[in-house]
Amino acid sequence: MSDTPIAQFLRPGIASASPYDARHHDFAWRHRELDRLMSNECPLPPSRSVIAAATAALEIANFYPNSGEDLRAAIAAFNGVEPSSVILGNGSTEVLDVVTRSFVGPGDEVVISVPTYAFFESQTRLYGGEPLLVPMTDDFRFDVPAILAAVNVRTKVIFLCSPNNPTGNSWTGAELEAVLAAGVPTVVDQAYLECGDAPSFAALVAAHPNLIVTRTMSKAFGLAALRLGYGIASPVLVDAFLRLRIPFSLSLVALRAGLAAMEHPEELEERRAFITAERRRVMAALLEMPGLKPFPSEGNFILIDVSGTGRTSGDIVDFARRENMLLRAMTAHRLRDAFVRVTIGTVDQNDRFIDVFGRAIAGGPQAPAPEPALTGGAMNRLTGRAATEKDRPAAALRG
């Protein structure tokens, strides 16, 4: 047997690439007793009609799924576009990955407005591209002139997000038109569109062949575990993307559940209304707390600047963890240790968050956590030791 290290056969850059960090999801699944207010999930479970459709699909799971023509047609009608402009994906992450692979290779550059969804940068680096990170303004507005200034002959893609994660604000039509005028393929991830009243950019695809809109059914639709998303682009690009997408990447369960969800738009509107009302209620409570600066949001989350409280985001996330609540510090989103993001949960969860967060920024009081719950950053400060591999998932909640 050869002594040649097998890793040398890997394509350059793979071994050193930083994958998208999903340890916080693993930690949350191991601790189902915790309030999951860290991952922008929908607090409402699927409707009975969606569950019935998924269950019926399981009864014929011995067959390969179809390609989802019926779901593509329903999504096209929902967005006012032609079916030939729709590509389905195993979550919008698959669509984003296919788009990146379609345009980006070694030596290419990608312009990304930050802070934003980390997947844009991780996939760019994975395929050998160089991300040019363009910061938003100090008050988290999109810096259109700076984005355009970053575009050059090596630019292959511009990645935007609307509503933007983690800041919650949306691009205007005029701002997007200005970026599209550069002629570069421009991706607008609209994962959170159905969580508020932000404008949809799907209709602009017909007039702008360089525009690619990605959407998901993980957020307001509440189907995160089924991994179902889609993209809207010119038929020419969709045809190219379909050549790269893995065949049968969507299960029949996901396809049938997604179709059932599309057939009941009134249920989606009820979800939108619930998320919007609860977001406004939580926002109003945060505005009453001293030292906080919560940012207006059109997503199912709120970004909070806690620098005025004298406490770091890590302090607050650890405090909430000891109260059996998972929040997210934004250091992994290239924000300093002064920003916390909370997902809008159920009414009871939101009530608890308001109480816990108020006590966290005031420094207590707090009920002692059971010994097994002290992991990650909280345990490190109590014991003075470095985190072990077992502890790291909890520590990841702070990043």
Domain boundary pick from 263, 288, 314: 263
Is there a contact between 162 and 201 (Cβ–Cβ < 8 Å)? Answer: yes
Residue 12 lies in a domain: no
What is the C-alpha to C-alpha distance for residues 204 and 144, in angstroms, rounded to an integer?
A: 18
Along the 399 residues of the chain, how does pLDDT read in single tens digits? 566 687 787 787 777 777 767 777 777 778 788 889 999 999 999 999 999 999 999 999 999 999 999 999 999 999 999 999 999 999 999 999 999 999 999 999 999 999 999 999 999 999 999 999 999 999 999 999 999 999 999 999 999 999 999 999 999 999 999 999 999 999 999 999 999 999 999 999 999 999 999 999 999 999 999 999 999 999 999 999 999 999 899 999 999 999 999 999 999 999 999 999 999 999 999 999 999 999 999 999 999 999 999 999 999 999 999 999 999 999 877 788 899 999 999 999 999 999 999 999 987 665 554 444 433 333 232 223 333 333 333 333 434
Residue 9 lies in a domain: no
**Hey, CA dihedral for 238, 239, 244, 250, is it positive or negative?**
positive
Residue 1 lies in a domain: no
Residues 189 and 302 in one domain: no
Residues β-bridged to residue 160: 188
The pLDDT of residue 23 is: 78
pLDDT tens track for 13-48 = 777 777 767 777 777 778 788 889 999 999 999 999
The pLDDT of residue 3 is: 65
Domain boundary pick from 195, 228, 263: 263
What is the C-alpha to C-alpha distance for residues 387 and 338, in angstroms, rounded to an integer?
A: 22
Residues 212 and 359 in one domain: no
Residues 255 and 303 in one domain: no
**Domain count for the chain:** 2
Residue 3 lies in a domain: no
Domain boundary pick from 217, 242, 263: 263
Give the range of the structural domain holding residue 134, as residue numbers without chain letter. Answer: 48-263
Q: What is the CA radius of gyration of the chain?
A: 22
Q: For the domain that residue 202 is a member of, what is the CATH number?
A: 3.40.640.10
Residues 34 and 152 in one domain: no
The pLDDT of residue 366 is: 59
Residue 366 lies in a domain: yes
Q: For the domain that residue 25 is a member of, what is the CATH number?
A: 3.90.1150.10
